[in-house]
């Protein structure tokens, strides 16, 4: 058994340019509408810039909740966000946006260690269930954000 860590890397395509995708990601007040698994969001600061911290609770489709703080580190407008996740999860995360035709290639990744004692134990005995829950949350996130982009910035299409 390895450590209670979830490593993730995924690439998604959105039919909106990086500037539009970035602009919507900066709208912290809308996160809970597009991402129903993330509740109680509070931001210390505005926009995607170094030093801003997002606080909230992750509520995946398995019976546990995790309080997290996402501290933004290096941010390159319309291209990159590097962050450190703290709280019940600990580790680095990143988001990269690359222009792809009239759309955006979005690459995300993280390596987070579960810090709750119960979650550490659950990971040791029920890793497949935890990975399943994690993957459902990622799928919900991408689908929710794609629907949000379609509603806010109509006329181009969907995530492929």
For the segment 51-72, what is each residue's pLDDT rounded down to a tens digit? 999 999 988 766 778 999 999 9
Per-residue model confidence (pLDDT) at position 98? 98
Q: Is 80 within a domain?
A: yes
| Residue 47 maps to a domain | yes
Q: Judge whether 160 lies within some domain.
A: no
- Split at pLDDT 50, 70, 90, the class of 158 is very low
Domain count, the chain: 1
Flag whether 158 is in a domain: no
Considering the domain boundaries, does residue 157 fall inside one? no
* Domain range enclosing 77: 5-152
| Residue 90, in any domain of the structure | yes
Q: What is the pTM of this model?
A: 0.87
pLDDT tens, position by position, 84-136: 999 999 999 999 999 999 899 999 999 999 998 888 887 788 788 878 878 88
In 18-133 the beta strands, taken as DSSP E runs, fall at 38-44, 53-58, 66-76, 80-87, 89-100, 103-114
- Would residue 87 count as lying in a domain? yes
Distance in angstroms (rounded) separating the CA atoms of residues 76 and 78:
6
Q: And the tokens for 107?
A: 């690459």
- State the CATH number of the domain containing residue 38: 3.30.530.20
Distance CA 99, CA 79 (A): 9
Residue 62 inside a domain? The answer is yes
């Amino acid at each position: 058994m390895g450590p209670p860590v979830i490593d993730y890397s995924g690439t998604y395509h959105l039919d909106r340019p990086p500037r539009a995708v970035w602009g919507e990601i900066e709208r912290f007040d809308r996160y809970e509408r597009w991402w129903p698994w993330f509740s109680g969001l509070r931001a210390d600061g505005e926009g995607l810039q170094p030093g801003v911290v997002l606080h909230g609770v992750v509520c995946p489709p398995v019976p546990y909740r995790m309080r997290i703080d996402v501290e933004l580190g290096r941010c390159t407008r319309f291209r990159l966000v590097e962050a450190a996740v703290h709280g019940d999860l600990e580790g680095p995360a990143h988001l990269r946006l690359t222009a792809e035709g009239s759309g955006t290639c979005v690459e995300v990744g993280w390596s987070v260690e579960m810090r709750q004692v119960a979650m550490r134990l659950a990971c040791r005995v029920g890793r497949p269930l935890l990975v399943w829950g994690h993957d459902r949350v990622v799928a919900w996130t991408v689908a929710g954000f794609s629907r949000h982009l379609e509603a806010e910035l109509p006329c181009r299409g969907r995530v492929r």
